[in-house]
Structure 1
C-alpha cells in the first residue's frame, strides 16, 4: 500500500498521547484526550469527525 491519501502519515497531534488507533484502507483514526483525530482519504466523508466526537471517546473502529 502506498501513502497516496496520506493515510499512513501520522498527524503531529497524534504522535504522542494517543490512547487508541484504528485504520481503514485509505484512512486512519486515533483517540487523544477523548477526541477523535482522522487522516487520509475523505472520499466518503470517513475523515469528517462530527463535533460530538470531540470529547468522551474511549475506543474506535475503522473499516
Structure 2
C-alpha cells in the first residue's frame, strides 16, 4: 500500500483473524508478534479500520478499486 507501514498481506491477516476467527485486538496483536510482526495494539486497530475500508470499497465501487 502506498505510504503504509504494512502490506496488504498483513492487513488481510488482521481482517481474517478478526472476522473469520473472531479474535480480539489483543489476541491479534499476540498472533502477529508470534509471526515476528512488530506492531502495537493501536496499529492493529488502525489496520482493522483499513481492512474495513478496503472491504467496503470492494463491495461498493469495483471501478474505483481498479
TM bracket, shorter-chain basis: under 0.3
* Greater strand share, structure number: 1
Q: TM-score, normalised by structure 1?
A: 0.26
Larger CA Rg, structure 1 vs 2 = 2
